[in-house]
Amino acid sequence: MWPIHLRRVLLQAQIMALTLTSAYMAYTALGLVTNCKSPVVVVLSGSMEPGIHRGDLLFLSNYMPQEYRNGDITVYQVPGDAITIVHRVVQTHEDMSGSPQIQRFLTKGDNNDVDDLTLYKGLERLERTHVVGKVRGIIPLVGYASILFNEYPWLRTSMFGLIALLNLLPA
């Protein structure tokens, strides 16, 4: 009896590992197709309301060369900061002085009164290298579970414990 039970547990562990590996491979492939290191992000604040809400799941792409225009919704990350920010481009500036053309821009949240200049940590404008991607699609509120798991670690631990327990119990 014990060897059969052990085989079932090992099979369940193998299925879990295969599922996690497949999900990681799909995310990595999506990153390659979209040319974006984070092709899917969750909105963490209400700075883009009423169009984009906290908990919305955003799909990004970052095709190069990418032109950003006023009105484009971008996700950017300031150097030295771990948080990504979802805001709209409100002003673009083309710098023709260098050999390659450099596009710089200013962003602002739709629900904010002022632009993001104070968020840039000393930079005058954002450059393409700071942009994670341009928003291409939105699924409302799907990412709210991610927010709940980050705000309430006990909930995340309970959920993973329940999933592990259900996978280990015999059918």
User: Which residues participate in catalysis according to the annotation?
Assistant: 47, 87, 116
Closest C-alpha among 43, 47, 45 to residue 59: 43
Instruction: Provide, for the chain, the percentages of residues in helix, strand and coil under a 3-state DSSP scheme, each rounded to the nearest 5.
Output: 35, 25, 40
Closest C-alpha among 30, 51, 50 to residue 40: 30
Mutual orientation of helices 153-168 and 2-34 as an angle, nearest 10°?
130
